[in-house]
Structure formats: structure tokens, C-alpha cells
């Protein structure tokens, strides 16, 4: 289930996102993930790396949050220390961090390694991550899987969070998934 889950979106910022390989696919997946988390009342945390240089989080992501997300600044590639400083006291070590963002092989990679070393369980929504080059993303995902990160996709995760069609928000999530498929067909 998802009672201990939190969603962490890493560095999906205005000046970085357009430079990523297949940015529209990645952004659509992240927006779907954020909307799903919002439907299921899963807290959303967003890191911004050197905001003054890379810009704020892409507006579609912020706009997709039903409840204002917890946004925090960072300058280290890993967001672990800044996350812990800002939210560590309210976060259980039993929390499962569902992670998406950019770039997979730099900030996402280093953050996940630090969270795992601190005892957190991490899941990576692979279709909601991206790098400039696919080889960098592939190698980072492979390495993360080898150290125990659970790999998933946005759609698989949304259904995993519900576990059953009897879930009270099932119809909302199903509509989100269907709408996302229509959008990807039309683009």
C-alpha cells in the first residue's frame, strides 16, 4: 500500500527539462505521477538545484499538485542532506521514497544512493526520469537496481498504490491513466 510513501521529484526545472532526451515523454510521465499522488493524498516533495541558474520547477508539475508541494533548494547533486534538514524530523525511516526527475545519472542517482545508505527504501519510476544521453540513464538505472532500488513505471506504480479495483479512488486513477494514453497517442 502507500501509507508510508512519499513522492520526490528531483530537479525538473525550466532550463534543464528542454535539454533532456525526449523531454515531453518524461514530463508527461512526471505530471501523471504527480496527479496520481495528489489523487491518493501522497505527499509531494520537489527539489530545485541552483534555481537562480536553472530556473524554477516546470510549471506543469507544480500545477498538477492538488495540495501545495514541499519545494526545497539544493546546491549539492544529491538532495539527501537538504531533504533531511528540511523534512527529516517528520519523515519515518519506514518511508518509501518514490523518485522521479532529472538527470537520472547525476542528481537522481546520487540522491538515491544517499537515501539507501541512510536506510530508506526507494522506488524509481523509470519512465519519469531522464538524462541528456540514453546510455547515461541506462547505466544509472542498472546500477541503482543492483543496489536494491525497486524499478517501476508510473502506470504500474499507480495501480500498485491502490492494490485493488475496490479502492475508493480507483475510478479517478483509471481516468488519469486513460487520459494519459489518449494524450500520448495524440502527440
Asked if residue 185 has pLDDT above 80, the reply is no
Give mean pLDDT, residues 55-84. Answer: 95
124 CB-contact burial (10 Å; exposed 0-12 / middle 13-18 / buried 19+)? buried
Total structural domains within the chain: 1
Percent of the chain residues past pLDDT 90, beyond the cut: 87
Q: What is the 3-state secondary structure (H, E, C) of the chain?
A: CCCCEEEEEECCECCCHHHCCCHHHHHHHHHHHHHHHHHCCCCEEEEEECHHHHCCECHHHHHCCCCCCEEEEECCCCCHHHHHHHHHHHCCCCCEEEEEEECHHHHHHHHHHHHHHCCCEEEEEEEEEECCCHHHHHHHHHHHHHCCCEEECHHHHHHHHHCCCCCCCHHHHHHHHHHHHHHHHHC
Instruction: Give the cell for residue 18.
Output: 528542454
Centre a 10 Å sphere on the Cβ of residue 159 and count the other Cβ atoms it contains. 17
Using CA atoms, how far apart are residues 94 and 4, in angstroms rounded to an integer? 7
Report whether pLDDT(88) > 80.
yes
Task: Encode pLDDT of 29-48 as tens digits.
Answer: 999 999 999 999 999 999 99
pLDDT digits (tens, 9 = 90+) for 76-85: 999 999 999 9
Domain at 61, CATH number: 3.40.50.850
pLDDT at 181 over 80: no
pTM: 0.94
Q: Report pLDDT for 94.
A: 79
Mean pLDDT (the chain, rounded)? 93
Top pLDDT among 3 and 124 is at 124
What does the block give as the cell for 39? 489523487
Cα gap 107→165, rounded to integer Å? 35
Report cis status (omega within 30 of 0) of the bond before 24: no
Domain that holds residue 152: 5-186
Distance of CA 78 to the CA centre of its chain: 14
C-alpha cell read off for 36:
496520481
Measured distance CA(91)–CA(75) in Å, rounded = 22
Q: Using pLDDT thresholds of 50, 70 and 90, give the confidence band for residue 186.
A: low
Q: Are 157 and 139 within 8 A, CB to CB?
A: no
Amino acid at each position: 500500500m502507500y501509507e508510508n510513501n512519499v513522492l520526490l521529484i528531483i530537479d525538473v526545472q525550466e532550463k534543464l527539462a528542454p535539454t533532456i532526451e525526449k523531454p515531453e515523454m518524461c514530463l508527461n510521465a512526471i505530471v501523471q505521477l504527480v496527479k496520481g499522488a495528489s489523487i491518493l493524498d501522497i505527499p509531494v516533495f520537489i527539489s530545485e538545484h541552483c534555481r537562480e541558474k536553472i530556473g524554477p520547477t516546470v510549471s506543469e508539475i507544480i500545477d498538477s499538485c492538488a495540495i501545495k508541494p514541499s519545494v526545497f533548494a539544493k546546491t549539492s547533486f544529491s538532495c539527501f542532506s537538504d531533504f533531511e534538514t528540511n523534512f527529516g524530523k517528520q519523515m519515518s525511516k519506514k518511508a518509501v521514497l518514490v523518485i522521479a526527475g532529472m538527470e537520472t545519472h547525476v542528481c537522481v542517482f546520487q540522491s538515491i544512493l544517499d537515501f539507501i545508505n541512510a536506510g530508506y527504501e526507494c522506488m524509481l519510476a523509470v519512465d519519469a526520469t531522464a538524462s541528456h544521453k540514453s546510455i547515461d540513464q541506462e547505466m544509472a538505472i542498472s546500477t541503482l537496481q543492483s543496489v536494491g532500488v525497486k524499478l517501476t513505471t508510473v502506470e504500474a506504480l499507480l495501480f500498485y498504490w491502490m492494490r485493488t479495483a475496490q479502492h475508493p479512488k480507483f475510478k479517478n486513477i483509471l481516468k488519469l491513466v486513460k487520459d494519459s494514453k489518449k494524450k500520448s497517442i495524440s502527440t
